[in-house]
Structure formats: C-alpha cells, structure tokens
A and B are shown apart, each in its own frame.
Chain A
Amino acid sequence: MEFKTDNSPFTGSTSNIGSVMRQVLYALIPGVLVMFYFYGWGVLINIVLAIIIAVSFEVLSLWLRKRPIKPFLADYSAIVTACLFALSIPPLAPWWILMVGLFFAIVIAKHLYGGLGYNPFNPAMVGFAVLIVSFPLEMTQWIRPEFSNGLMPSLTDSLRIVFNGFESLYSLNQWDAVTMATPLDDMKTELKSGHYFSEVIRTNGYGFVSGKAWELVSLAYLGGGLWLLYKGIINWRIPVSLLLTLAIVAIIVGWLEPDTKQSSLFHLFSGATMLGAFFIATDPVSASTTPRGQLFYGASIGFFIYVIRTWGNYPDAVAFSVLIMNMSVPMIDYFTQPRVFGAKSGGK
C-alpha cells in the first residue's frame, strides 16, 4: 500500500533522480582528470571496473528483490556510488578489493536496507570503511604521483597489476618504490615522531599546501562542488559548515599547540576532505534534511574528521565521520524540525 504524497510547490519540474545524479557525475569530471594526470591509468580502470561491478550487483539485487530493473538502473545512483567509491580507493588496487567493497556498498548498505532512498548509510562509504578495516595494506598503497619518473605503469601493465596482483610485474622492493604513503599518512607519522609541521611541509613532495598531487585534486573537486552549488543540486549548508568547522578546529588546536599539528589549509586540501564535503556528505538520502540539522550535521563531520585524523589510527577520516553522522541523522532531524508556518516558536 502506498500513499503518494507530493511536497509543495506543485508546479511541474523536469528534474528527476537521474538528471541530478548525472550532474553529480559531470561535476566529478575535473577531479577525475586531475587524478588521471597524477595517478595514471589506475584511476580510470578503477572507475570502469567499479561501474561494471556496481551495475551488476544492482541488477542482481533488483532481480532478487523482484523489482523492475530498468527504471532503477536509469536513476544512475549505482554509477554515482561506484564512481565515488572508485575515487576513494587507491589506483591499481586489486580487482577483488572493488568486488568486496561494492558488494558491501550496493548489496548490503543499499539493497538490504530497502534500496535507494531507504539506506541510512552512504553506500560508497560503507564499502570504503569495510575495506580499510579489513585490508589496511591494500588500501593504503597509493602510487607515487609523479608522471615523469618512468615508474608510472602503462595501460597494459596497469591492467596486469589490477588483475594479477603487483607480484606479476614487480618485486616487493620495486613495488615499494612505486607506491608511497599519502601526504596525510606521511605527515601523521612525521608529526608523531616529533618533527615540526613547518619543517616537514618544506620537504620534497609536499608542494605548496598538502602534497603535490593532492592539493590540485582537491582544487578540482572544489571546482566541481562549486558547480553543483551553482546548479542548485546541493545545498551550501553541509559543505560550508563542514569545511569551516574543520578549519576552525585546526586553527584552535594549532594555536594551543603551535606547529605540532597539521595546519587548517593542510586539512582542507588533503585526503578526501573536498570530495567528502561536496560529494559524499551531501548525499540527499543519508544526510540530514532540516536546515539547522544540515548545519549541525556538516559541522559534526568536520569536527570528527579532525579528531579521527589527529588522534585516530587511520590515515583519513571522512568515511568514518560520515558514517557516524549518518547514524545520528534521525535524531538530528527530530530535534531540528523547522517551525511550522504560522505556529509560535517553542512548538506551542
């Protein structure tokens, strides 16, 4: 039994889930291009493979749930999940990493909860969290983002690495030379061992703000995100409150303990901050829906990103922060219901 309830305004609108999701995909393009420039074919292989796997899982789940397949595929949500997931895992990750992650993302986090619109957790981030907890080694091997040093694998080599494992091409030592810790991870280790932030940031490979590749990748995501804002696909509240909180917390802690913690610019432009702020935290299904709630939701994610990055065990924290706040969304929405028009404040 279904009661169809439309919200006002009742004027016709051409936008539907499919077109919104397509806009999100377009907005990802600059980020993908920059990542492709720095990380090579692995990025594209990840995306193509993830889309194929995600769509297969989607079809399988819809078929098992006896739902019509075509209309649900046409909403592009599986493809967006696949792209976000593929961009958050290391390029040249083995193929089974994608299989396991997307199984958890599409089948468990999305369809077991009732499909698109009913999932309390962001599917891509569930897949990512499962992987980073279960396979920390495979999930932290990012290749060195330098295109010129001749170590970047070609397309065929990349395919061989993805499907046969890096052992088929490199010895362990060589592979160690091809991969490296991400700036976020590296900075954390350096700071823990007593070095000062201003000292480490000047070393080779850190670029201007947060690592040669990462600052540009983040800028590209920021551009895509601003375009989404301009198009009205996402609301400003979540990304702005998220980024502001992260920056302010970093400034406060940096003021209390000068030079022993990452600067706020470093936090903003490293890891998945920008991707998370504009593309992941704004997921309309799993994010808070009330205006005040969205501010609180975004701010809490920013706060948790800082806390987990600084005092946690994992290098990046966007996935965990988003999942924690996804859990709290029903309560946030309950306490931040907007005043009904005409009612007095205080709900009386």
Chain B
Amino acid sequence: MTEEQEKQSPTVDYLQLTKDGLWYNNPGLVQLLGLCPLLAVTNNVVNGIGLGIATLVTLVISNASISFSRNWVRKEIRIPFYVLVIASNVTVIDLLMNAWLAQLHLVLGIFIPLIVTNCAIIGRAEAYASRNDMLPAIVDGIMMGIGFMLVLVALSAIREIIGSGTLFINAEVMFGEAAKNLTVTVFDDYKGFLLAILPPGAFLGMGFLIAFKNIVDKQLAKRKKNSLSAIPVIVK
C-alpha cells in the first residue's frame, strides 16, 4: 500500500458496498470464510441469529477501530494488531453475552471466543478497513455482517425444518420468556431427520445454498446479456 493510494479517497459507492456484502461478495457464500462456526452452530435458527449478531457486532467494531487507527500502525505489525483489536472486541462481546444471554452463551459455547479466528473478520480488516475511511468501513462491516448472518439464518432454517420440523425452537434463550410461543411447528407428527442436525447436514445444506446462489447468478447474467444484445438490434 503506497502513500498515494492511501491519500486517494474516491467517492464511496455505498450501494455497491451493500450489494457486495449481501450478495456478490458474501462472506459465507462467495468468500467461503468463517465456515467453521457457520457449519457448527447452525442446527437451529436461534443459534444462527445469535452467532450472526455476535459476528456482526464484532465486524462493525473491529472495522471501525482498524480504519480509525490505520494511519498509526506500521504495516509490518498490522496482522498482530488486527488480532489484538478483534480479540479484545470478542472478549467484550463474550462477557456481555455471558451476562445478559447466559443461556444462549451456554449453547454457542466455544464458538463465541472463536469469532477471533473467523477469517471473514480479519479478511475485511485487511482488505477493506485498513485502506478506507471510517464511515465506509463501518458500512462495509454492517453489510458483510448482515450477509454472513443471512447465510447463517438461511442454513439454520433449512437444517431446523428438515431436521426437527420446527422453526425458532429455544427462542426464549435469546428473546426472553415472552418469545416461548415463537416456536413454529412446521410439520406435525414429524419424526425428525437426524442427519440434517448432524455435521453432514451442514455441509450438504451449505453446498446446496452455494449452488442456489450460482444458479441465480447465472440467470441474472443471462438476463443482462439478453438485454444488452437487444440494443444492437434496435440500432439497426
């Protein structure tokens, strides 16, 4: 990274940032980063949302602080610095969750501290936050975090519906006692399909999600091509 590049601050395309985070450069489906927690905790939707929010908050705070301090950190030591920043954020979130969402914290267990090693976060710190202003870095963090959370929620919804035939089971551990009625039983008298809850279900579900995204992308590209190829005909 040279001095010139750093000083250049082109107008930031927030729409593009949003699109990238949610779809075109989605951390879960395209960058395939942070797969370990993604695959491990997504056996029900509440776990997915819980870990998604924790990751989102970590991502936003770490992006903000790294972007804020980017001019004072020598680039030789930037990786340890990122790890330190992210680790302290995660520790704070871990302690907060332990205090306020003890039940959920118990369920998610080791995967909250492990957010430190989530490559999606350090990846955004290195690839985006360290070379952009604070506001775009925060927006990038929010969008990437939401993109990651959407994948978590989608995968965990698929696994929960197929695996146990319900949605939002254990909602009370996250949203309090009032949310106990939130649990939806999708199929009555469903015996459950254990494989979907076990790790193979996560890998298969993830594979199908990525395949689905690729199909949608292909269709989009085709439509774009069709509309482009229509132009010369009009010119003639």
- Interface pair A100/B193, CB less than 8 Å apart: yes
A108 with B204: in contact, given A100-B193, A134-B193 (CB under 8 Å)? yes
Query: Can you list 13 residue pairs at the A/B interface with Cβ under 8 Å?
Result: A100-B193, A108-B204, A130-B195, A130-B200, A133-B194, A133-B195, A133-B198, A134-B193, A134-B194, A134-B195, A135-B191, A135-B193, A135-B194
Which residue numbers of B lie inside 8 Å of A, CB to CB? 191, 193-195, 198, 200, 204
How far is it, in angstroms, between the C-alpha of A142 and the C-alpha of B204 when the chains are bound? 30
How far is it, in angstroms, between the C-alpha of A93 and the C-alpha of B191 when the chains are bound? 15
Q: Which 5 residue pairs across A and B have the least CB separation, nearest first?
A: A134-B194, A134-B195, A134-B193, A130-B195, A133-B195
How far is it, in angstroms, between the C-alpha of A192 and the C-alpha of B158 when the chains are bound? 39
Interface size class of A (residues with CB under 8 A): under 10
How far is it, in angstroms, between the C-alpha of A133 and the C-alpha of B163 when the chains are bound? 12
Which residue numbers of A lie inside 8 Å of B, CB to CB? 100, 108, 130, 133-135
How far is it, in angstroms, between the C-alpha of A130 and the C-alpha of B203 when the chains are bound? 14
How far is it, in angstroms, between the C-alpha of A100 and the C-alpha of B163 when the chains are bound? 13
How far is it, in angstroms, between the C-alpha of A133 and the C-alpha of B198 when the chains are bound? 9
Q: A134-B194, A135-B193 are in contact. List 10 more A-B contacts (CB 8 A).
A: A100-B193, A108-B204, A130-B195, A130-B200, A133-B195, A133-B198, A134-B193, A134-B195, A135-B191, A135-B194
How far is it, in angstroms, between the C-alpha of A178 and the C-alpha of B209 when the chains are bound? 43
Output the least CB separation between A60 and chain B (Å): 16
Output the least CB separation between B3 and chain A (Å): 48
Output the least CB separation between B198 and chain A (Å): 7
How far is it, in angstroms, between the C-alpha of A134 and the C-alpha of B200 when the chains are bound? 11
| B residues less than 8 Å from A134 (CB atoms) | 193-195
Output the least CB separation between B188 and chain A (Å): 15
| A residues less than 8 Å from B194 (CB atoms) | 133-135
How far is it, in angstroms, between the C-alpha of A104 and the C-alpha of B191 when the chains are bound? 18
| A residues less than 8 Å from B200 (CB atoms) | 130
Can you name the residue of chain B whose Cβ is closest to the Cβ of A131? Answer: B195
| B residues less than 8 Å from A135 (CB atoms) | 191, 193-194
| A residues less than 8 Å from B195 (CB atoms) | 130, 133-134
How far is it, in angstroms, between the C-alpha of A248 and the C-alpha of B200 when the chains are bound? 34
Query: Which of A100, A108, A130, A134 is the most central at the interface, judged by chain B CB atoms within 10 Å of its CB?
Result: A134
Can you name the residue of chain A whose Cβ is closest to the Cβ of B204? Answer: A108
Output the least CB separation between A307 and chain B (Å): 21
How far is it, in angstroms, between the C-alpha of A100 and the C-alpha of B204 when the chains are bound? 14
Can you name the residue of chain A whose Cβ is closest to the Cβ of B201? Answer: A134
| A residues less than 8 Å from B191 (CB atoms) | 135
How far is it, in angstroms, between the C-alpha of A100 and the C-alpha of B194 when the chains are bound? 12
Output the least CB separation between B218 and chain A (Å): 14
Can you name the residue of chain A whose Cβ is closest to the Cβ of B195? Answer: A134
Output the least CB separation between A167 and chain B (Å): 12
How far is it, in angstroms, between the C-alpha of A108 and the C-alpha of B204 when the chains are bound? 9
How far is it, in angstroms, between the C-alpha of A135 and the C-alpha of B200 when the chains are bound? 15
Can you name the residue of chain A whose Cβ is closest to the Cβ of B194? Answer: A134
How far is it, in angstroms, between the C-alpha of A108 and the C-alpha of B194 when the chains are bound? 17
Can you name the residue of chain B whose Cβ is closest to the Cβ of A104? Answer: B195
| B residues less than 8 Å from A130 (CB atoms) | 195, 200
